[in-house]
Amino acid sequence: MNARSWWLMISVGLGILLNPLNSSMVSVAIPRLQNVFQLNFTVVSWIIFSFYIASAIAQPVMGKASDLFGRKKLFLTGLLVAFFASLLAPLSPNFGWLIVFRIVQSIGTSMIVAVGIAIVRIHITEKQATALSVLSIFLSGAAAIGPFIGGVLIHWWGWHAIFFVNIPFVVASFLLAWRTIPKDEPPISVASNMSFRKWINMIDASGILLFTVGLVALLVGLLSAKSSGHVSLLSIIVGLIGLMLLLVFVRHELKTTSPFIPLHTFAKYPAMTWVNIEFMLVNVLFYSLFFGLPSYLQMVRHVSEFHTGILMLSLGLCSLVASPLAGRWIDKSGPRPALLVSAMLMTLGSVWIVTLNQTSPVISVCLALAAFGISNGLNNVGMQAALFKSSPKEIIGVASGLFSTSRYFGTILSSLLIGIVMGGKFSFEGFRLLGIILTAIALSLVFISRRRRESGQLQES
């Protein structure tokens, strides 16, 4: 790759790291936010849910928009949105406004991720696995190092600092992207005088509304039942309404001509479907540990935010080391061996969590963190390589958006899993139960990986 390609990857990388960085730093901030706003874990967990629900919606929409309207302007716009959200979030007068600015921040950073990956896919055609490994350093590295950065920032300057830290990354990415990302004109088929109704139909506003309301209602029903300690009639009604709306959403997506999530695409390309399912479960595993462990260390083992961040650093360092090695390995051998090793490491890490007891040295959690960190580096490169192998180039924008949505489905499910297992308060018994569930999910990945390979062979034939 030439120097311009490297600068293009750096400009994109500095932008796309904002999404995982902001999703991960908050994991250390949750206990502090509980104290500041006087809320229990279930309520504060909406700072996680809101970010990922907004990201799950924005990713495929922005992937579609990038295919239709061009990518450079959308990338730069996302940086501006993230900039203003990062300035305003620390000024939030209450927790409700903080959630609002987190949603805005999520939309801006989601624009960057969906468009950024497509930019690299289109403009860097040689050694794409190596290019993906570089992006993975920004993505997985930022996500994994986020708790360490968050712990240091919160310890010295308070929770406001985890928003202000975004500003230098935004400025650097904007200046580099302005110069290095090639200009691309929108396709002729997109009319400049498109009516508001056509625009609404094109982005499938009805599908977005059904998905958003349905998912939020289902989460509210499940979490309110768990946090209150009993299943109330209201919780059942809200949960059932959410489930019904999601079923209506599926039916709507199968019928509409411009779906928000093109379910027909999953049916047409089964190998791509299995890649997304596997990636979703991988993220359930990773983020259950990622969000669960910092709160467990602080609330159950009474470890400070600063030292929690230092312990979580082993996760980040292992991810950073594994990502470039994974790129070279996958360039030579394909994604299959790396993903198999990753599944084995996640199983090892999950089993290790189950074996911990209340007298285990706190430092012993580093073994589980190292196993998950290495597997995260392998997965981010391997899963993206498998996605590009199974997805036609003409729908790569949509495919990238769906892939990112699978990541956010996984993170939403991980937060839901933690909320259901732990309830309003963390405990040692709940953390061990979480480890048992994660072990079962890790073992299931071997079966899913086999189905993905079989579907890929059928698709090629």
Total of domains in the chain: 2
Residues 185 and 165 in one domain: yes
Confidence of residue 423 (pLDDT cuts 50, 70, 90): low
Q: Average the pLDDT over 350-370 and give the result.
A: 85
Residues 238 and 186 in one domain: no
% of the chain residues with pLDDT over 70: 85
Give the Å distances, CA to CA, from 188 to 118, 195, 395.
Answer: 19, 16, 17
3-state secondary structure 297-333: HHHCCCCCHHHHHHHHHHHHHHHHHHHHHHHHHHHHH
User: What is the domain range of residue 220?
Assistant: 205-255
- The predicted pLDDT at position 360 comes to 82
Residues 35 and 45 in one domain: yes
With a cut of 50, say whether residue 424 has pLDDT above it.
yes
- The predicted pLDDT at position 225 comes to 59
Q: Average the pLDDT over 438-454 and give the result.
A: 77
Residue 38 structure tokens = 């006087």
Residues 317 and 426 in one domain: yes
* Residue listed under structure tokens 């990518």: 71
Confidence of residue 455 (pLDDT cuts 50, 70, 90): low
Residues 360 and 342 in one domain: yes
**Would you say 306 and 155 are in contact if contact means Cβ atoms under 8 Å apart?**
yes
Question: Is residue 298 helix, strand or coil?
Answer: helix
Residues 225 and 325 in one domain: no
Helix (H), strand (E) at residue 85: helix 72-88
* Separation CA 218–CA 239 (nearest Å): 4
Q: Average the pLDDT over 45-58 and give the result.
A: 82
Q: At what angle do helices 335-355 and 270-299 cross, to 10 degrees?
A: 30
Write down which residue in 228, 255, 282 finishes a domain.
255
pLDDT in tens, 164-175: 999 999 999 999
Which residue from 312, 275, 278 is spatially nearest to 442, judged by alpha carbons?
Answer: 278
**Would you say 352 and 368 are in contact if contact means Cβ atoms under 8 Å apart?**
yes
Write down which residue in 190, 222, 255 finishes a domain.
255
- The predicted pLDDT at position 113 comes to 83
* Residue listed under structure tokens 């390609």: 5
Structure-model confidence comparison of residues 196 and 391, the more confident one = 391
Interior angle at CA 104, CA 108 and CA 196, nearest 5 = 80
Residues 67 and 142 in one domain: yes
Residues 229 and 302 in one domain: no
pLDDT in tens, 246-280: 999 989 988 888 787 777 777 777 778 888 888 88
In this structure, which amino acid lies at residue 358?
Answer: Q
What rounded mean pLDDT belongs to the chain? 80
CATH number for 381? 1.20.1250.20
**Would you say 5 and 378 are in contact if contact means Cβ atoms under 8 Å apart?**
no
* pTM for this prediction: 0.73
With a cut of 50, say whether residue 188 has pLDDT above it.
no
Residues 211 and 270 in one domain: no
**If you ran DSSP here, which 8-state letter would residue 358 be given?**
T
With a cut of 80, say whether residue 33 has pLDDT above it.
yes
* Separation CA 284–CA 91 (nearest Å): 32
Residues 235 and 360 in one domain: no
Which residue from 283, 259, 2, 36 is spatially nearest to 144, judged by alpha carbons?
Answer: 283
Residues 191 and 214 in one domain: no
Confidence of residue 80 (pLDDT cuts 50, 70, 90): very high
Confidence of residue 25 (pLDDT cuts 50, 70, 90): confident
Residues 245 and 304 in one domain: no
* Separation CA 11–CA 149 (nearest Å): 21
Q: Average the pLDDT over 1-7 and give the result.
A: 72
Confidence of residue 184 (pLDDT cuts 50, 70, 90): low
With a cut of 80, say whether residue 2 has pLDDT above it.
no
Q: Average the pLDDT over 372-382 and give the result.
A: 85
- The predicted pLDDT at position 191 comes to 47
Which region among 87-96, 192-201, 239-248 has the lowest average model confidence (pLDDT)? Answer: 192-201
- The predicted pLDDT at position 456 comes to 55
With a cut of 90, say whether residue 83 has pLDDT above it.
yes
Question: Could you tell me which residues come within 8 angstroms of residue 191 by beta carbon, excluding any fewer than 6 positions away?
Answer: none
Structure-model confidence comparison of residues 4 and 383, the more confident one = 383
